[in-house]
Amino acid sequence: MKRPQHGGNLAWAAALAGCPPDLLLDFSASINPLGPPASALDAIQASLGQLRHYPDPSYATLRQTLGAVHQLPSEWILPGNGSAELLTWVCRELAQLDGVEVWTPAFGDYGRALRAFGAQVVPQRLASLEPAPLAPQFWGQPEDGTSLTPGCGDDSNAAPLAPQFWGEPERRKAAQGVLLNNPHNPTGQLFSVASLLPLLEQYALVVVDEAFMDFLPPAQQQSLILWVQRYPNLVILRSLTKFYSLPGLRLGYAVAHPERLERWQQWRDPWSVNGLAEPVTVAMLADSGFQQRTWDWLGGARSHLFRGLAQIPGLHPRLGAANFLLVHSDYSVTQLQTQLLQQHRILIRDCLSFPELGDDYFRVAVRTEAENQKLLEGLAAVSATLGTPYQE
């Protein structure tokens, strides 16, 4: 079976582990372990009778609900069959520009969607892979001669910082569009609003994937949604299924100028969002109790996991603001992953699909305290059998 490009491929992992998929402990997919919320499951149960009808092709109630959350008119919101569907349409628009800057390491579907439309991709590698919270920085020389001052993180949490960019000026000027995610996947780095706003004056189209932004409490979020009505060249992508733990439902949305979203509506298939999505979303977004429980849980759980990883010889976790941690490994991650599966039935996310990271990094979701402890014990046991970690 081919090695997966995404996390959460339990069929592949189960074949390697030699056990049924439901016996695996999955740290490869960054899904909220507290969900799905009961409110969502109740809404699904109550709406099963509606499956005999076609969904509303305008998604009026769904758009109104999402618009109310962000204090925007409903026409500024477009639901999709996961944010991955909406990524396809925004990449179709990006491909029409003269160059698209992609901050790397990057989610693999960015390159797939851009290449599908023949886009000219201009990769810009983030320099901040060391375990410290940094503003967006790129390999190369600073364009304005300023120095970089790292901020200070609180345990496992990477704080957003003011704008400080490194890069090759001639390459950055060649791109008319830019595609990034915030918090960044796979590093977990959180970019401040102040560091991103200048992009809106520099590029013809700015796309920010905020799939993991909901995991930050509202006061800590660095979303650009508040700026979308001021900048018609801004597109925000959001996921609902990670925070609410319903990836099988497939639901995301875009926030952008209504003319752009109407154009996407003409491109895509009718009824791309299923009939259960509307009642489930209405119920989930009203579930303030679940949202608060998630925010209360994540900080402590991530901190516990970060400290535990840092105590294992040869493993070096990176500070992050999302519900996952990127870890540099002095061991071969392929070996580490295989032995974890076969000996402990635990799946971690290798980073082989990120060319900049390769076999030296892995990513783990933050799960419950008991599950995190099982991961730490498994990693400690396996790493002890792999010999002395490589030291540069």
pLDDT for res 172 = 58
Q: Which residues in the chain show pLDDT less than 50? A: 130-135, 137-154, 162-166, 169, 392
pLDDT for res 155 = 56
- CA 4 from centre of chain: 17
* DSSP assignments along 260-308, one per residue: HHHHHHHHSPTT-S-TTHHHHHHHHHT-HHHHHHHHHHHHHHHHHHHHH
Look at strands 324-329 and 358-365 and give their pairing. Answer: antiparallel
pLDDT digits (tens, 9 = 90+) for 294-314: 999 999 999 999 999 999 999
Per DSSP, the three-state class of 136 is: coil
CA angle 254/286/58 to nearest 5° reads 40
Contact criterion met (CB below 8 Å) for 143 and 173: no
Which residues make Cβ contacts (< 8 Å) with residue 208, sequence separation at least 6? 180, 181, 182, 196, 224, 234, 235, 236, 237
| d(C-alpha 177, C-alpha 263), whole Å | 18
Domains of the chain: 10-30+288-385 (3.90.1150.10), 38-143+151-285 (3.40.640.10)
pLDDT digits (tens, 9 = 90+) for 30-46: 999 999 999 999 999 99
Q: Is the dihedral of CA 317, 367, 343, 345 positive or negative?
A: negative
Q: Residue 166: what are its φ and ψ, rounded to 5°? A: -115, 155
Contact criterion met (CB below 8 Å) for 188 and 216: no
pLDDT for res 223 = 98
The secondary structure element, H or E, covering residue 39 is helix 38-47
Contact criterion met (CB below 8 Å) for 241 and 82: yes
pLDDT for res 58 = 92
Contact criterion met (CB below 8 Å) for 135 and 147: no
